[in-house]
Structure 1
Amino acid sequence: MPSLTDSLIVVSDLDGCLIDSHTQQWSAALPVLDSLREHNIPVILCSSKTAAETIAIQNELGLQGEAFIAENGAVIQLNDEWDDHADYPRVINGDTHESIRKVLEELRQSEGYKFTTYDDVDDAMIGELTGLTPKMIALAKLQEASQTLIWRDSDERLSAFSEQLNNLGLCMMEGGHFWHVLDQRGGKGSALTWLIDQYRQREGRRPTTIGVGDSPNDVTMLDVADYAVIVQGYSKQPVVVKNDNPQRVYRTQAYGPEGWCEGLNYFLGSSV
């Protein structure tokens, strides 16, 4: 089991984990967040949200300056103290949002696929779909290297669409509510692997990692992490990890921030 005295990093998804996906609240997680901060344990946010959204949430949570992974691994922000790093302040993995947007539009026009993206709808519709405030909606639209997609076609057409994207070097990932299209060079697992290596190089040892996620797009991150918390979620698809050893993986009973605390308490003890 990991310990609060280890060289430890917590890597966490946001919606459905640290943040309630229905209310967008995180107050239930604050006691554990405070304890991790007191023990100087970094909490690396790792989600489908944009860098702009993530920075705003970091400020709310008291995690300013920490590294983070945005847009499902397509964007990696480095720790503020790493301003001597060659890739500071952030790394973009693969194609840009604009490039991906053009590919999706071409496929929609040529093949007649039925889907809606954030670029297609107004702020009011995004607010209705997500429960985000006007301020956070504006930040959610600042995608740098991915596209958020609401599929409105059949499952058979989804498979064909996904295959075409794969042939073009892109991929689809299912989140808690939406699909996300990004370059195949992205992904939470590859982003976390790269970020762990940066910590190893700077600190002289590989940190122990606890990953926290609730949906299929978290799987690669959970596979890379030394320990995995799978928070009870709402995805139609199961969260299936490669190494499901009970000593490594804990599945919570509670949802959202309560489940987030439950999982970390399981691995780190109630003192956290």
Structure 2
Amino acid sequence: MNYDRIKKNETESKGEFMIAVFTDLDGTLLDNKTYSFDKAKTSIELLKSKNVSLIVVTTKTADEIEDFKRQEIGEFFIVETGCEIIAPDECFKLGKGYRHAREVLIKIKEKFPVKGFGDMSEKEISEITGLSLENSKKAKKRKYTEPFIPLGEFDLQEAEQIAERYGYRIYRGGRFYHIVDKECDKGKAVKFLIDKLKRKYGSILTIGLGDSKVDEPFLKIMDIPVLIPKKIGIYEKLDVENVRLSPYPAPLGWDYSIKEILNELEAGSS
């Protein structure tokens, strides 16, 4: 890590300098089974005490992140795999509407047995994800993307070719595949937000945490990318240079890595 560059940027921006943590939720900050983040609460409070911005980058819907907003976990929210950015006083819509993603799923259905969120009841989503019925209802309120699961024989490469013909791509998340507007991904949305923040702060140090392939686009553009394991010693294979491997799954690995990085930054800037 280049601490001299950090100091230089602080000087050039006349004291205005921002550290931003960009984080995925499921399997990164949140336990993949219980969705708890209790073991990361001390590091979340630590970020607040140091005026470090926490920015959520998720496949979840705008309705699903309302609980995080109420708990003041996150300053900005990038939802539905980069299709919308929710800022404190404005919103940026980057993706095509939900019906287009559903149309792509219908085309994929002509070749493979698959089932999307639009085909599922709230009870089915709850059984698959472990979410409460109330949160499953929020997960169904999609504006841009369609998560789905294969029900039998499924060729991802062929499904991707179908999606490509209609201007979409398929990402594999922790539990579901996601049909996403080709013009959107987590990386593009994060870059869009970073560019806007740079106009205000002049210089930003970015820390990013994720656990799956869908996080790769935004981890690639982080100053400090961190990969959270699925289980101890088991990591998703990502093409991200200089990625740190957190030793523990979520949420403990998130807590550990945030504290480790902040300690290093303090030691390097003293």
Question: Shorter-chain TM-score: which interval?
Answer: 0.7 to 0.9
Q: Deviations over 1:60-80 (max 9, x none)?
A: 3x236x2111111111112x1
User: Could you tell me which amino acid in structure 1 is paired with residue 57 of structure 2?
Assistant: C
For the pair 1:76 / 2:70, whether they are aligned, the reply is: no
- Report the Cα distance in structure 1 between the residues aligned to 2:235 and 2:163, rounded to whole angstroms: 20
Aligned to 2:245: 251
| Aligned pairs for 1:180-219 within 5 A | 180-203=178-201, 205-219=202-216
User: Could you tell me which amino acid in structure 1 is paired with residue 128 of structure 2?
Assistant: L
What secondary structure does 1:53 align onto? coil
What secondary structure does 1:128 align onto? helix
What secondary structure does 2:31 align onto? coil
Cα offset for 1:151? 2.0
Q: Is contact 1:93–1:145 with CA below 8 Å preserved after alignment?
A: no
- Report the Cα distance in structure 2 between the residues aligned to 1:13 and 1:131, rounded to whole angstroms: 18
- Report the Cα distance in structure 1 between the residues aligned to 2:29 and 2:214, rounded to whole angstroms: 16
Q: Is contact 1:93–1:183 with CA below 8 Å preserved after alignment?
A: no
- Report the Cα distance in structure 2 between the residues aligned to 1:200 and 1:67, rounded to whole angstroms: 15
Cα offset for 1:133? 1.4
TM-score by length of 1: 0.86
Structure 1 consecutive aligned stretches of length 4 or more whose deviation exceeds 6 Å: none
After superposition, the Cα gap between the structure-2 partners of 1:238 and 1:138, relative to the gap in structure 1 and judged at 3 Å, is same
Q: Is contact 1:219–1:239 with CA below 8 Å preserved after alignment?
A: no
Moved more, 13-22 or 92-101: 92-101
Q: Is contact 2:147–2:176 with CA below 8 Å preserved after alignment?
A: yes
Q: Deviations over 1:67-99 (max 9, x none)?
A: 111111111112x1xx4xxxxx22222321122
Aligned to 2:13: none
- Report the Cα distance in structure 1 between the residues aligned to 2:209 and 2:171, rounded to whole angstroms: 17
What secondary structure does 1:232 align onto? coil
After superposition, the Cα gap between the structure-2 partners of 1:25 and 1:209, relative to the gap in structure 1 and judged at 3 Å, is same
- Segments of structure 2 that go 5 or more residues without pairing to the other structure are 11-16
Q: Deviations over 1:179-220 (max 9, x none)?
A: 1111011100010000000101122x1311000000110001
- Report the Cα distance in structure 2 between the residues aligned to 1:31 and 1:145, rounded to whole angstroms: 34
Cα offset for 1:237? 8.0
Q: What percent identity do the matched residue pairs reach?
A: 27
Aligned to 1:151: 150
For the pair 1:222 / 2:219, whether they are aligned, the reply is: yes
- Report the Cα distance in structure 1 between the residues aligned to 2:96 and 2:198, rounded to whole angstroms: 27
Aligned to 2:93: 92
User: Could you tell me which amino acid in structure 2 is paired with residue 253 of structure 1?
Assistant: P
- Report the Cα distance in structure 2 between the residues aligned to 1:227 and 1:106, rounded to whole angstroms: 39
User: Could you tell me which amino acid in structure 1 is paired with residue 252 of structure 2?
Assistant: E
Cα offset for 1:56? 1.8
What secondary structure does 1:29 align onto? helix
Cα offset for 1:120? 1.1
Q: Is contact 2:227–2:235 with CA below 8 Å preserved after alignment?
A: no
Q: Is contact 1:196–1:206 with CA below 8 Å preserved after alignment?
A: no
- Segments of structure 1 that go 5 or more residues without pairing to the other structure are 84-88
What secondary structure does 1:48 align onto? coil
What secondary structure does 2:247 align onto? strand
Aligned to 1:135: 134
| Aligned pairs for 1:1-272 within 5 A | 1=1, 7-60=18-71, 62-63=72-73, 66-78=75-87, 80=88, 83=89, 89-108=90-109, 111-155=110-154, 157-203=155-201, 205-233=202-230, 238-243=236-241, 245=242, 249-269=243-263
Cα offset for 1:270? 8.2
